[in-house]
Amino acid sequence: MDTRALSLSPLILHSFENPTCIPRSHNNHHFVRLFSSIHINRVSKTPLAIQNPSPTIPTPDNGKLTTPTLKQLCQTHVPDQILLRMEEVGYVMPTEVQRQALPRLFTGRDCILHAQTGSGKTLTYLLLIYSIINTRKSAVQALVLVPTRELGMQVTKVARILAAKPTGVEGEQKSCTIMALLDGGTLRRQKTWFKAEPPAVVVATVGSLCQMLERQLFSLGTLRVLVVDEVDFLFNSSKQASSLRKILTTYSSCNNRQTVFASASIPHHNRFLHDAVQQKWTKRDVIHIHVSPVEPMPSRLYHRFIVCDTKRKLQTLLSLIQSDAPESGIIFVGEQSEKSKKAGNAPSTSLLIDFLKASYHGSLDILLLEDDMNFNSRAASLLEVRKGGGYLLVATDVAARGVDFPEMTHIYNFDLPKNAIDYLHRAGRTCRKPFSDINCNVTSIIVPEERFVLQRYENELMFVCEELIP
């Protein structure tokens, strides 16, 4: 998968329009900033090189141009109660994706939201949802599709935080109801809820939603906004892709709804845009908002690797943790193969947990999150993580997509991810505080034969990995 060729295409078009701006190096930060806000209408193949696409507004006192606050960006679109709440929980200035996307989303255009991990895509689409739904109407008006239960719980939580009544606001205004319809939940309660009064917003995993739709427990006929988060992951999943297609075309129509696809990675995005229109998943004038196309990972993220032989990997990891002294860290481990399971071997996650419990004497708690755990144990691990206080989370890629761990400072790839996209999402569990200047680290522990694999990821994602000498 050559992600680089595709993510560079906007640059090539822009450089063509402005021959004096052709960059010398893709790692040049000035260049990255200069080109961070280019938009291309790929369907009509019309390059729209917009340097500053969202409004800058004059301040009343001195007439200088300044960046609008989130509230100013949303003011005439999102209800005041949500805006008050948004500021109350600390969302004051927009992140780059919010600044670029919100004015366009409020015009009703379908959109592909393509921006770095931790850049604030969730708040972007939730503000769109709140700008559209009518809380007095008793119907499902917005649907957010997510790949995992963990991400669904997180999105539901943020949506409910925003919908809660702001402090000091009196009155009986009806607040927005948000239902989580996620794998591993019991659908009985949701069935009763649907019958009594349908929620305005549903956050769902594809499997659970389809079960409800197939049993005709509700329909998507009243849908006004459909968001597909981690869209590339969902379309890549053999279990979920065909159901997702059905939701996009059979159960609902793109003419009745505004559709948003979001992810930090949309490989072959030109092709995806083309397909989205052809298959009628979106309307023809869908826009692609691509923030930082030449810097797909946050610039505060430092990438390192250390080479050792397989037998020394555990000891090397321990030495790294001791010298880094992370506030919190995730140790990513590959999933156990079916062959290894059949042979009765213990999974690497268990071996690692046992090793750390025996050899690590620091202050961090050691936790586990993997696919094979039941949903309750997974939720318990996440709850511990969210309490804060410092932990080392041993995890498979179930923790790599979308999950927000704001306090995370270090990622360790005990096993290399399978591809560059997985590297990007694992790395993206750090550097998740917009406007912070704290640097974070991703360290891969590799055997000599894996150096070329990591090199390939560096080329595809355009980052430099520094070697640590043991």
Q: In the complex, which residues of this chain contact ligand ATP (CB under 6 A)?
A: 70, 90-91, 93-95, 98, 117-123, 264, 402, 404, 406, 428, 432, 434
Report the residue number, 100 or 117, with the smaller CB distance to ligand ATP. Answer: 117
Instruction: Count CB neighbours of 278 within 10 A.
Output: 11
* Residue 235 or 360 with smaller CB distance to ligand ATP: 235
- Strand (E) or helix (H) holding 86: helix 80-88
Minimal distance, residue 195 CB to ligand ATP, in Å: 33
* Strand partners of residue 203: 144, 180
* Neighbour count for residue 320 (Cβ, 10 Å): 21
Structure tokens at 319: 């030495």
In the complex, the smallest distance separating the C-beta of residue 434 from ligand ATP, rounded to whole angstroms, is 5
Between vectors from CA 439 to CA 433 and to CA 444, what angle results, nearest 5°?
A: 110
Shortest separation between residue 104's beta carbon and ligand ATP, angstroms: 17
Residues 160 and 177 sit within 8 Å (Cβ to Cβ): no
CB of 330: closest distance to ligand ATP in angstroms? Answer: 13
Q: How far is the CB of 126 from ligand ATP (least distance, A)?
A: 9
Question: Which one, 68 or 434, has the nearer CB to ligand ATP?
Answer: 434
How many angstroms separate the first and last alpha carbons of the chain? 32
Nearest to ligand ATP of 101, 244 (CB atom): 101
- Nearest residue (CB) to ligand ATP, 222 versus 299: 299
- Torsion-angle region of 299 (φ positive above 0: left; ψ -120 to 50: alpha; else: beta): alpha
Whichever of 49 and 289 has its CB closer to ligand ATP, that residue is: 289
Of 120, 182, 124, 127, residue with least CA distance to 151 = 182
Distances (CA, A) of 342 to 6, 338, 347, 371, 418: 40, 6, 11, 17, 22
CB of 312 to ligand ATP, least distance (A): 32
Closer to ligand ATP by Cβ: residue 23 or 406:
406
Q: Measured from the CB of residue 92, what is the shortest distance to ligand ATP in angstroms? A: 6
Quick check: 468 and 329 in contact, CB under 8 A? no
Amino acid in position 112:
I
CA–CA–CA angle 88, 89, 92 (5° rounding): 75
CA dist 68 → 93, 94, 272, 312 (Å):
8, 8, 32, 52
- Supply the minimum distance, in Å, between the C-beta of residue 70 and ligand ATP: 6
Residue 214 · residue 133 · CB < 8 Å: no
Which residue, 116 or 252, is less far from ligand ATP as judged by CB? 116
Phi, psi dihedral angles at 369 (to 5 degrees):
-140, 110
